[in-house]
Amino acid sequence: MLEAKNIAYSIDGKMLVENINLSFFPGILYGILGPNGSGKSTLLKTLSGIWNPTKGIVKWKGKPLLARSRKQISSTISLVPQNPQVHFDFTVAEMVRMGRYPYGSKHCDAEIEKALNTVDAWHLRKRSILHLSHGERKRVYIARALVTESPILLLDEPEASLDIKHQLEIWKLLRKLAEQDKTIIVTNHDLAATQRFCDEVAILNQGRCVCHGQFDQVMTPQRLLEVFGVVESANFRPITFETPS
């Protein structure tokens, strides 16, 4: 179990998240919802061990996450950032290979091929990461997280910049990974996809978790108005799409 216990994080005296108390269990796909600036990305960075909380503690299996070595954390938690930044001319295959760092990068060609095929990016393997579209780059970063084989996967708006087909495929992949007993935590703005695919959701607003639980229990018309500033219409549940079988 991954736990956030009274988490707070501030930069230059500005509190980005505070009083966050959440527990994340294996086999569950969690959605983190909230308007822009509500603290979703900050929460993921503290849960991943990239940022040390200003207050509180993140625990994994009852022990402080940051008491582990960086290599141990890397093999436990994989984070796919919202806007992957790359400054070196690596090939796609080289980028994905970096996900094997906790185990050594030798003799992992099969894992790389499997991960890239999973995100429909095997044909990009020899391309420079610098020459990909944002959506293609996002899929490559998801592949890199997959080859890490970590039990916890954090994704910051993974569907952003993806076309409809790849959005749906990524959501189905995350659903499958959760069914394989991994802990999956996803931030996003798509309420319909969250309702369809996520087991539980947490809603952030102004740096605080205002509620958490099953989507239909927490996403009430009143909460939509209070948190997102919108009124639910009779047609709130939009149509869904499927890829051909």
- Per-residue pLDDT, averaged over 75-85, amounts to 89
Pick the residue with more confidence: 230 or 174? Answer: 174
Could you give the CA distance from residue 244 to residue 165 in angstroms, rounded to a whole number?
A: 10
- What phi, psi does 228 have (nearest 5°)? -105, -10
Write the DSSP symbol of residue 195.
H
Please give the Cα distance from 62 to 127 (Å, whole number): 42
Residue 235: predicted pLDDT: 46
What's the Rg (C-alpha) of the chain? 18
Report pLDDT digits (tens) over 100-130: 887 776 668 889 999 999 888 999 999 999 9
Closest by alpha carbon to 199, among 175, 223, 221?
A: 175
Q: Which domains does the chain have, with CATH numbers?
A: 2-228 (3.40.50.300)
pLDDT tens sequence across 147-160: 999 999 999 999 88
Q: What is the distance between the alpha carbons of residues 43 and 130, in angstroms, rounded to a whole number?
A: 28
Please name every residue paired with 203 in a beta bridge, in sequence order, or none if there are none. 33, 211
pLDDT at 51 over 90: yes
Question: Tell me: the pLDDT tens digits for 203-242?
Answer: 999 999 999 999 989 988 889 899 998 886 544 555 455 6
Where does residue 238 rank: exposed (0-12), middle (13-18), buried (19+ CB within 10 A)?
Answer: exposed
User: Which stretches within 149-233 are classed as H helix?
Assistant: 164-179, 191-197, 215-218, 221-223
